[in-house]
């Protein structure tokens, strides 16, 4: 097996021995969360991002070598593999270079050059290619043949030029030159399709657009690509033709005679017909990959923040899924999220039965000792919130709005049908809203992350790449928080390190048949859960109230003996170490360092003893919108309002201000100082104060600002890239805004 450790270590600025150890652990089946949490000595305390980078890079290099092996075999079987060519192929460090070297030997369908070769014109092409003092027309006469369908001198010379054009297009150095020009001088442009001006209005800012390929932001490229896909735009990727022709001429034209002129004609044809389309497609794909990665990064960051949102915790909750004509669905959940009772009330228009509805809610709160009320933030949410606050419930009952994005997806899913087969979708949706308040992570893992509504063109990016990134993110969040073994759903257990769907199902089935797990060791009794799965999963699972207090913590069972030794050396029990800070302060960690256990792990153990099973998430905080604002029509320019960040993109942040339509805080209005990345300025679910800049009631478009003086000095301008047919706007283009806003709110493109 090829050792990639040194190369990856150099690329990622890591130590070779740690990279090698990490690769070995990954090959043995260890997960990223397990390696970064419980193998710190082996990896040199790499974090999850570094471990994942090693994993992804070694996969890329293995794919590259697999392709290299196939190419060498193919060329060798053709009898054309020379030592020089083999050295070049062995030295190729990217897939594009590898494919360039293979191109002349790659089996092809019929081309102009292959047809010319069948007519016997390759010797003529070779004579012209040498660019000696021959007369092309005179040489071409030798190849006129009725039998081979070479009618005249012009046909012979054309065939020879076709062969030369293919030689040039298959030259690895030539392709490298043109590829380099695309990297440095490449432009991307778009124009409206003829007759599509009206229908494609949302893309009007791209009807005549030009920008540097290397500088175009991901959201702009994805918007143009979407416009092209929907048939409203034509997209072109190009470089100045004279630059490319000049570079190729310097490489291939080495004379000023008649033969050189033929080569030059072939060269121009080669560039326009063969090289440019090929490299352009390649660069379009590379630009798409780059844009995909940026969009995926934005989406993943948003999903992580949403999954790690502050939980209310184990409280008795009354949840309301608001509505008008069909009423509000009400459910009562116990502290573990179990459905106790459900009903419907009609406090809003058209029935406006507030008296009866209020009595029902009050009675349910008293009956079930409700500690918090969760109200979905969809249709009729503000009206329902106002109604609940006016009932006169005890002040100790928390009333909060809950983001219900994706709740309808969950309610109609197989997961929901399995959990609540005897209830309709409205009840399931209300339960999801209540459980989200109690524990966002545990509930949101049941929904496809793409349905949560916090992405940026997530339906346009590479779906396999997106799934891998999302799986990594969800697994990271689940394992960072830890999972209560005796109450966790199958979906939540699926993301625990080392488990997966099958073992998660086995655990739930075993729990249902045998009762609650009393210790982590009981996991080994679960069918098909072997030693390796136990090693990977055990540290991330918690058993509340377990006989061994370490089973409630993130201390891995493989280190229980170390903790017991610490307690024994101090003449106390492990429980005493947890309870007594003074006892823990007496522990000399250096005494417990071994070949397998180092200070990083020992420090983690000490932190866990201080607060076993601690939740890394923030404390739950209530939030209220302005009481006097309920609809877009209630807004006025200059109005200052509380809001909550619902989505973060590369061009700004969307903020819910309680009017059933999120407003956009453009990147230029996120702060008084310059902001290059919105994710560095705000966080998802962050409570913010905003000023209304612009309101378009018919289109429900709201522009907001977080600047202290939004109507004062203009925001600092970010640097633009490339030449332009059209003067670039400093704010997000209107069409771009509309396209993304509609997409983000689920109104098109899904």
* DSSP state letters, 247-300: HHHHHH----SHHHHHHHHHHHHIIIIIIHHHHHHHHHHHHHHHHHHHHHHHHH
What's domain 632-718's superfamily in CATH? Nucleic acid-binding proteins (2.40.50.140)
Residue 143 pLDDT level (bands cut at 50, 70, 90):
very high
Averaging pLDDT over each range in 142-146, 154-158, 722-726, which range is the top one?
Answer: 154-158
- What count of Cα atoms within 13 Å lies in the side-chain half-sphere of residue 674? 5
| The pairing of beta strand 328-333 with beta strand 339-345 | antiparallel
Decide if pLDDT at 356 tops 90: yes
- What count of Cα atoms within 13 Å lies in the side-chain half-sphere of residue 717? 7
Q: Collect all residues with Cβ–Cβ distance below 8 Å to 273 and sequence separation of at least 6.
A: 165
d(CA 481, CA 37) in angstroms, rounded, equals 12
Higher pLDDT, 737 or 296: 296
Beta strands in 30-184 (DSSP E): none
Cβ(677)–Cβ(648) below 8 Å: no
Residue 739 pLDDT level (bands cut at 50, 70, 90):
very low
Decide if pLDDT at 148 tops 90: no
DSSP per-residue letters across 564-624: HHHHHHTTS-HHHHHH-HHHHHT--GGGG--SS--HHHHHHHHHHHHSTT---SPPP----
CA-nearest of 333, 319, 313 to 400 is: 319
Residue 622 pLDDT level (bands cut at 50, 70, 90):
confident
The 10s digit of each residue's pLDDT in 108-121 is 889 999 999 999 99
Distance, C-alpha 301 to centroid of its chain: 8
* pLDDT at residue 729, rounded to an integer: 34
Percent helix, strand, coil in the chain (nearest 5)?
50, 10, 35
Decide if pLDDT at 53 tops 90: yes
What's domain 317-438's superfamily in CATH? YqgF/RNase H-like domain (3.30.420.140)
Mean pLDDT of 572-588: 93
Mean pLDDT of 59-83: 95
* pLDDT at residue 18, rounded to an integer: 96
The 10s digit of each residue's pLDDT in 675-690 is 988 989 999 889 999 9
The 10s digit of each residue's pLDDT in 243-262 is 999 999 999 999 889 999 99
Q: What angle do CA 644, 647, 652 make, to 5 degrees?
A: 100
pLDDT mean across residues, the chain: 89
Joined tokens for residue 235: 């997209």
d(CA 167, CA 78) in angstroms, rounded, equals 18
Residue 466 pLDDT level (bands cut at 50, 70, 90):
confident
d(CA 134, CA 211) in angstroms, rounded, equals 46
Residue 745 pLDDT level (bands cut at 50, 70, 90):
very low
**551 DSSP 8-state letter:** G
The 10s digit of each residue's pLDDT in 409-454 is 888 888 889 889 889 999 999 999 999 999 999 998 988 877 776 6
The 10s digit of each residue's pLDDT in 194-248 is 999 889 888 988 999 999 998 898 888 999 999 999 999 999 999 999 999 999 9
Decide if pLDDT at 8 tops 60: yes
Mean pLDDT of 401-408: 84
Residue 712 pLDDT level (bands cut at 50, 70, 90):
confident
Decide if pLDDT at 748 tops 60: no
Compute the radius of gyration of the chain from its Cα atoms: 33
* pLDDT at residue 72, rounded to an integer: 96
What's domain 5-105's superfamily in CATH? RuvA domain 2-like (1.10.10.650)
Tell me which long-range contacts 494-499 makes (C-beta under 8 A, separation of at least 24).
Answer: 494/445, 495/445, 495/471, 496/537, 496/540, 496/541, 497/31, 497/33, 497/34, 497/536, 497/537, 497/539, 497/540, 498/31, 498/34, 498/532, 498/533, 498/534, 498/535, 498/536, 498/537, 499/533, 499/536, 499/537
For tokens 């009400």, what's the residue? 330
Weakest-pLDDT range from 37-41, 289-293, 357-361: 289-293
- Domains of the chain, by residue range, sit at 5-105, 112-301, 317-438, 632-718
The SS3 of residue 150 is: strand
* pLDDT at residue 186, rounded to an integer: 93
Residue 478 pLDDT level (bands cut at 50, 70, 90):
very high
* pLDDT at residue 453, rounded to an integer: 64
* pLDDT at residue 455, rounded to an integer: 62
Cis peptide before 634 (omega within 30 of 0): no
Mean pLDDT of 282-309: 88
Bridge partners of residue 567, in order along the sequence = none
* pLDDT at residue 99, rounded to an integer: 93
| CATH fold group of domain 112-301 | Tex N-terminal region-like (1.10.3500)
* pLDDT at residue 713, rounded to an integer: 56
Weakest-pLDDT range from 46-50, 309-313, 742-746: 742-746
Mean pLDDT of 482-495: 94
């Amino acid at each position: 097996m090829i050792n990639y450790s040194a190369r990856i270590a150099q690329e990622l600025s890591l130590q070779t021995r740690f990279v090698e150890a990490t690769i070995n652990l990954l090959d043995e089946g260890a997960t990223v969360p397990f390696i970064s949490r419980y193998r710190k000595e082996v990896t040199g305390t790499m974090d999850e991002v570094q471990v994942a980078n090693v994993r992804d890079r070694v996969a890329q290099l293995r794919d590259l070598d697999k392709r290299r092996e196939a190419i060498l075999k193919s060329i060798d079987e053709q009898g054309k593999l020379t030592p020089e060519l083999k050295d070049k192929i062995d030295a190729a460090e990217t897939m594009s270079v590898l494919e360039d070297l293979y191109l002349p030997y790659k089996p092809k369908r019929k081309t102009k050059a292959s047809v010319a070769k069948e007519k016997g014109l390759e010797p003529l092409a070779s004579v012209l290619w040498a660019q000696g003092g021959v007369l092309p027309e005179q040489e071409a006469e030798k190849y006129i043949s009725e039998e081979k369908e070479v009618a005249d001198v012009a046909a012979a010379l054309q065939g020879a030029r076709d062969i030369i054009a293919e030689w040039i297009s298959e030259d690895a150095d030539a392709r490298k030159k043109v590829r380099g020009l695309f990297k440095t001088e490449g432009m991307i442009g778009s124009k409206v399709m003829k007759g599509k001006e009206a229908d494609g209005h949302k893309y009007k800012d791209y009807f005549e657009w030009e920008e540097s390929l290397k500088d175009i932001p991901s959201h702009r490229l994805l918007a143009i690509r979407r416009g092209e896909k929907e048939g409203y735009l034509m997209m072109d990727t190009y470089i100045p033709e004279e630059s490319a022709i000049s570079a190729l001429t310097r490489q291939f034209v080495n004379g000023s005679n008649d033969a050189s002129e033929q080569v030059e004609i072939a060269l121009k044809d080669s560039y326009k017909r063969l090289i440019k389309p090929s490299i352009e497609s390649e660069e379009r794909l590379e630009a798409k990959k780059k844009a995909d990665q940026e969009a995926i990064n934005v989406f993943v960051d948003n999903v992580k923040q949403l999954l790690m949102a502050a939980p209310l915790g184990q409280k008795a909750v009354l949840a309301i899924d608001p509505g008008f004509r069909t009423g509000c669905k009400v459910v009562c959940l116990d502290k573990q999220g179990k459905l106790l009772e459900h009903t419907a009330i009609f406090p809003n228009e058209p029935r406006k039965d507030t008296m009866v509805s209020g009595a029902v809610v009050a009675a349910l709160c008293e009956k079930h000792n409700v500690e918090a009320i969760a109200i979905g933030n969809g249709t009729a949410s503000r009206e329902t919130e106002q109604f609940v606050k006016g009932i006169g419930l005890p002040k100790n009952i928390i009333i909060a709005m809950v983001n219900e994005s994706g709740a309808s997806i969950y309610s109609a899913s197989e997961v929901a049908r399995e959990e609540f087969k005897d209830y309709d979708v409205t009840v399931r949706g209300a339960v999801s809203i209540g459980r989200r308040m109690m524990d966002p992570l545990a509930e949101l893992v049941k929904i496809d992350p793409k349905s949560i509504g916090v992405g940026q063109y997530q339906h346009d990016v590479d779906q396999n790449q997106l799934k891998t990134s999302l799986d990594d993110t969800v697994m990271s969040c689940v394992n960072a928080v830890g999972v209560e073994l005796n109450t966790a759903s199958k979906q939540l257990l699926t993301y625990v390190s080392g488990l997966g769907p099958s073992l998660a199902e086995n655990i739930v089935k075993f729990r249902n048949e045998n009762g609650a797990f009393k210790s982590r060791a009981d996991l080994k009794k679960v069918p098909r859960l072997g030693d390796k799965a136990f090693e990977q999963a055990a540290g991330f699972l918690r058993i509340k109230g377990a006989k061994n207090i370490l089973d409630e913590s993130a201390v891995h069972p493989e280190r229980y003996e170390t903790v017991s030794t610490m307690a024994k050396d101090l003449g106390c029990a492990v429980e005493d170490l947890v309870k007594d800070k003074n006892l823990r302060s007496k522990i000399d960690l250096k005494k417990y360092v071994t070949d397998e256990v180092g200070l990083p792990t020992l420090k983690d153990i000490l932190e866990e003893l201080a607060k076993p099973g601690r939740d890394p998430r923030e404390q739950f905080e209530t939030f209220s919108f302005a009481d006097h604002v309920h609809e877009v029509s209630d807004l006025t320019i200059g109005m200052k309002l509380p809001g909550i960040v619902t989505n973060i993109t590369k061009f700004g942040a969307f903020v819910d201000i309680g009017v059933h339509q999120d407003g956009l805080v453009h990147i230029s209005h996120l702060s008084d100082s310059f902001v290059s990345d919105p994710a560095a300025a705000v966080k998802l679910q962050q409570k913010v104060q905003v000023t209304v800049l612009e309101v378009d009631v018919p289109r429900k478009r709201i522009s907001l600002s977080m600047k202290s003086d939004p109507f004062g000095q203009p925001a600092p301008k970010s640097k633009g890239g490339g030449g332009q047919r059209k003067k670039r706007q400093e704010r997000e283009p209107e069409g771009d805004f509309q396209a993304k806003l509609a997409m983000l709110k689920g109104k098109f493109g899904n």
